[in-house]
Chains A and B, each alone.
Chain A
């Protein structure tokens, strides 16, 4: 890490062009952004969007995945569509979303939700389908059935797979959000990137990238690592 930063610094010294700022310049730009409040504000706006969009994606994707795994009707009616749509890069929905909802919060959220919900649904479907049948048969002989069987046995048993889908969904949500924010005046980190480009301020662009990286790492540490550890402790590491 230190070596990489040193190489970066040396390379930018050698390049001697404002298009390739060194780590110090980027750090100064972060400092300035924090000082005048633009960076924290943009971060807060993006994080709030992410929280809402990702929350909605989880709330839609997991039930959809369960329905796909358990209902033959749902599977046959929507399965191919879900699989097909999940391979469309979510940013492709932005033009349509803008036509429908205008340059609004809604348009961005549609892209974020679509980007995250489909991989979550596909992963949930797979992991619910692959719960060992003996686990569910055992629970049924004990008298569990219906929603109770699903919530107390099937979903906990499928949790490692669902968590994997949730992680993929998170990165998809973050990507979709940045792409969406780039395209119009939105106030988030994506727009700040665009501002940096307009001003030719490469240090600002890189500063925002550093903040996005930090956001990704922080969310990983806060949201997923504890759950990962809990699952590793219960299931044993080899099955993760």
Chain B
């Protein structure tokens, strides 16, 4: 679609939204005129966190006694099947949810609510469709009351970082899935957060794009030294990206196992050592996934692969 000059009515409609975006809580004379010094990562800690919610009268246990630490600047991947509370952990750190018990701390202080020092990136990118890429990246800066020139220079810098500068005036629907995801990363970095929370950001992308973006993310992380908590259910992705993989179990969600990935960076997509570690973790997960599948299927269901598995000890007494 060609982008013609905006007519007066369309600009009026959206000027309304823009004008409201401008009325910051910060008075105009107190506006920040330059970007503070780039923040590197801060530590994140969950201690013995449990969360239960009421769903239509019954109580559902989402997380039980989960403990997790990410050091400043560390890249941690949360890996586990659906229902293991991975996204919930991100919500807790982001301050969008509160634990029933236990503590969630960020940079040694308790998390009390959302804040621009922790940014979330979603599977569907969640770029605002009514704003151009550039204005999407500038949106959180506008909320902070940053002046227009500072916003503009910051968004240009970030769009260059994710190689989208040329597409700055495009609307999200005019971009591919991978470009949208890079845009979402740029927007998340706009407020210079100490912690980047990523909720299966590459899950909806095709395999090639996903590998390219994994490389991009590793590069961006190396350049910015943010603390990254990255949720995925792709074992290879977790091993390729993480300093440490945290394996989550389900029903209720809890931490099962942690695996340090001590491989040199940057890591190649087809690195055999990545595959080796990934296979080890995959075997560990298999039993956990099987448990979920059993609960969601009839009693007679047997996990494919359980029959005639290459590990005779694990399946002894079944499928013989």
Contact between B119 and A141, CB atoms less than 8 A apart: yes
Partner of A227, one of B10, B95, B140: B10
Complex alpha-carbon distance, A9 and B131, angstroms? 51
B1-39 interface code vs A (CB 8 A; 1 in, 0 out): 101001111100110010011010100000000000000
Q: Which residue of A lies closest to B119 (CB)?
A: A141
Contact between A138 and B171, CB atoms less than 8 A apart: no
Q: Number of residues in A with C-beta < 8 Å to the partner?
A: 32
Partner of B130, one of A141, A145, A234, A238: A234
Query: Is B115 among interface residues, defined by CB-CB distance under 8 A?
Result: yes
Distance in Å: Cβ of A216 to nearest Cβ of chain B: 18
Partner of B173, one of A142, A157, A226, A239: A239
Known contacts A229-B7, A233-B171, A234-B129: does B116 contact A151 (CB below 8 Å)? no
Among B14, B123, B130, residue most surrounded by chain A Cβ atoms (within 10 Å): B130
Complex alpha-carbon distance, A153 and B94, angstroms? 19
Complex alpha-carbon distance, A108 and B233, angstroms? 61
Known contacts A138-B120, A141-B120, A143-B116: does B96 contact A156 (CB below 8 Å)? no
Query: Is B124 among interface residues, defined by CB-CB distance under 8 A?
Result: yes
Chain B residues lying within 8 Å of A230, measured Cβ to Cβ, are 6-7, 9-10, 13-14
Q: Which residue of A lies closest to B136 (CB)?
A: A138
Distance in Å: Cβ of A234 to nearest Cβ of chain B: 5
Partner of A236, one of B1, B3, B7, B116: B1
Contact between B114 and A134, CB atoms less than 8 A apart: no
Contact between B3 and A233, CB atoms less than 8 A apart: yes
Query: Is A45 among interface residues, defined by CB-CB distance under 8 A?
Result: no
Contact between B126 and A135, CB atoms less than 8 A apart: yes
**B129-181 interface (Cβ within 8 A of A):** 129-131, 139-140, 143-144, 171, 173-174
Query: Is A197 among interface residues, defined by CB-CB distance under 8 A?
Result: no
Contact between A151 and B20, CB atoms less than 8 A apart: yes
Q: Number of residues in B with C-beta < 8 Å to the partner?
A: 40
Q: Which residue of B lies closest to A237 (CB)?
A: B1
Contact between B20 and A152, CB atoms less than 8 A apart: yes
Chain A residues lying within 8 Å of B64, measured Cβ to Cβ, are none
Chain A residues lying within 8 Å of B10, measured Cβ to Cβ, are 226-227, 229-230
Among B95, B122, B171, residue most surrounded by chain A Cβ atoms (within 10 Å): B122
Q: Which residue of A lies closest to B25 (CB)?
A: A148
Complex alpha-carbon distance, A152 and B131, angstroms? 11
Known contacts A137-B96, A230-B14: does B143 contact A142 (CB below 8 Å)? yes
Known contacts A142-B191, A143-B140: does B129 contact A157 (CB below 8 Å)? yes
Chain B residues lying within 8 Å of A141, measured Cβ to Cβ, are 94-96, 114-116, 118-120
Contact between B171 and A227, CB atoms less than 8 A apart: no
Q: Which residue of B lies closest to A152 (CB)?
A: B21
Distance in Å: Cβ of B304 to nearest Cβ of chain A: 33
Query: Is A72 among interface residues, defined by CB-CB distance under 8 A?
Result: no
Contact between B9 and A134, CB atoms less than 8 A apart: no
Contact between B17 and A155, CB atoms less than 8 A apart: yes
A207-239 interface code vs B (CB 8 A; 1 in, 0 out): 000000000000000000011011011111111
Q: Which residue of A lies closest to B4 (CB)?
A: A233
Chain A residues lying within 8 Å of B118, measured Cβ to Cβ, are 141
Complex alpha-carbon distance, A234 and B131, angstroms? 7
Contact between A142 and B171, CB atoms less than 8 A apart: no
Chain B residues lying within 8 Å of A63, measured Cβ to Cβ, are none
Chain B residues lying within 8 Å of A148, measured Cβ to Cβ, are 20, 23, 25, 143
Contact between A140 and B9, CB atoms less than 8 A apart: no
A45-75 interface code vs B (CB 8 A; 1 in, 0 out): 0000000000000000000000000000000
Contact between A134 and B14, CB atoms less than 8 A apart: no
Known contacts A141-B119, A234-B171: does B114 contact A156 (CB below 8 Å)? no
Query: Is A132 among interface residues, defined by CB-CB distance under 8 A?
Result: yes
Complex alpha-carbon distance, A153 and B120, angstroms? 16
**B162-220 interface (Cβ within 8 A of A):** 171, 173-174, 187, 191
Distance in Å: Cβ of A31 to nearest Cβ of chain B: 32
Query: Is A159 among interface residues, defined by CB-CB distance under 8 A?
Result: yes
Q: Which residue of A lies closest to B21 (CB)?
A: A152
Complex alpha-carbon distance, A1 and B309, angstroms? 73
Complex alpha-carbon distance, A229 and B119, angstroms? 33
Contact between B126 and A138, CB atoms less than 8 A apart: yes
Complex alpha-carbon distance, A235 and B119, angstroms? 24
A149-182 interface code vs B (CB 8 A; 1 in, 0 out): 0011101110100000000000000000000000
Contact between B130 and A142, CB atoms less than 8 A apart: no
Contact between B122 and A151, CB atoms less than 8 A apart: no
Partner of B124, one of A132, A140, A226: A132
Among A141, A145, A229, residue most surrounded by chain B Cβ atoms (within 10 Å): A141
Among B3, B8, B10, B23, residue most surrounded by chain A Cβ atoms (within 10 Å): B10
Contact between B122 and A134, CB atoms less than 8 A apart: yes
Distance in Å: Cβ of B3 to nearest Cβ of chain A: 6
Chain B residues lying within 8 Å of A135, measured Cβ to Cβ, are 126, 128
The 7 sampled A-B contact pairs (Cβ below 8 Å) are A134-B123, A141-B116, A142-B139, A143-B115, A143-B143, A151-B20, A156-B128
**Which 5 A/B pairs are nearest by Cβ-Cβ distance?**
A230-B10, A236-B173, A142-B140, A134-B126, A226-B9
